[in-house]
Amino acid sequence: MSLFQNAAFFTTVNHLKDLPDTRAEVAFVGRSNAGKSSAINTLANRTRLAYVSKTPGRTQHINFFDLGQERFLVDLPGYGFANVPEAVRAHWVELLGRYLGERQSLIGLLLIMDARHPLKDLDLRMLNYIAPTGRPVHILLSKADKLSRQEQTQTLRNVKAELAQWSNVSVQLFSSLKKQGMDTVEDIVKTWFDAEDAHLAALMAAADADADDAAADGSTSAPA
């Protein structure tokens, strides 16, 4: 069954202290209007799961979607829209920055960029901020249907060349309208979640082994 098939709205958060406890989550980031909400809806095969707005910058909250198995998708506030009051802008800069910097259960990011305008200033700032943390970033060049086949190939090649400096950043073409590239996104996100499961299982096994050792020598285990 598809990873995203049973995605259900979980909660909306406007303050970091309200973030839910999750085991593992993958977040969507990108400029406002890049096609983030459309991508979530398309991947989940739903029409209005994430609100698709024609008004840039309407979604300034963090929205959580439950995938089951304690896995979540997170729709982060879009960046780069004009005409917002300074207080609102300051609030989401802080919210976004701290979420990305501090969120333990964040295992990977999907960065959505309009294929016609990739790697804008704010996208590069996002990459420069997140790539050095070692977290995987997968870029969707969205609205690919707006480009000819030839333009798609050329854009993908150019963006790949720009990203060659980062080993944890990958990129693909994507279109919500044409449902182009869905399988690739799903394969990659599933790899991230499965790797996290394996990582947690290994930690649990190590903790169990420690406990067994402690029981065997009759000592109480002291924290390392």
Ligand X SMILES: Nc1nc2c(ncn2[C@@H]2O[C@H](COP(=O)(O)OP(=O)(O)O)[C@@H](O)[C@H]2O)c(=O)[nH]1
Binding residues (CB under 5 A) for Mg ion: these are 36-37, 59
Burial of 143 by CB count in 10 Å (0-12 exposed, 13-18 middle, 19+ buried)? Answer: buried
Region of 164 on the Ramachandran plot (φ > 0 left; ψ -120 to 50 alpha; else beta): alpha
Query: What is the closest distance, in whole angstroms, from the C-beta atom of residue 58 to Mg ion in the complex?
Result: 7
For residue 193, CA distances in Å to 36, 40, 70, 107, 181 come to 20, 17, 10, 8, 19
Instruction: Tell whether residue 175 is a contact of ligand X (CB under 6 A).
Output: yes
Query: What is the closest distance, in whole angstroms, from the C-beta atom of residue 157 to ligand X in the complex?
Result: 20
User: What letter does residue 6 receive in the DSSP assignment?
Assistant: T
Candidates 15, 146, 157, 199; binder of ligand X (CB under 6 A) is 146
Candidates 3, 7, 25, 33; binder of ligand X (CB under 6 A) is 33
Of 120, 165, 131, the residue nearest 30 (C-alpha): 120
Q: Which residue is nearest to Mg ion (CB)?
A: 37
Provide the β-strand partners of residue 68. 71
Convert residues 77-96 into a mask of x (bound to ligand X by CB under 6 A) and - (unbound). Answer: -x------------------
For ligand X, the closer of residues 17 and 48 by Cβ is: 48
Candidates 7, 24, 29, 36; binder of ligand X (CB under 6 A) is 36
> Which partner in Mg ion, ligand X, none is near 143 (CB below 5 to 8 A by kind)?
ligand X
> If binding means CB under 6 A, how many residues of this protein chain bind ligand X?
19
> Which partner in ligand X, Mg ion, none is near 35 (CB below 5 to 8 A by kind)?
ligand X
Cα–Cα distance between 164 and 166 in angstroms, integer? 5
Per DSSP, the chain holds a count of helices (H) and strands (E) of 5, 7
Q: Which residues of this protein are in contact with ligand X, per CB under 6 A?
A: 30, 32-38, 52-54, 78, 142-143, 145-146, 175-177
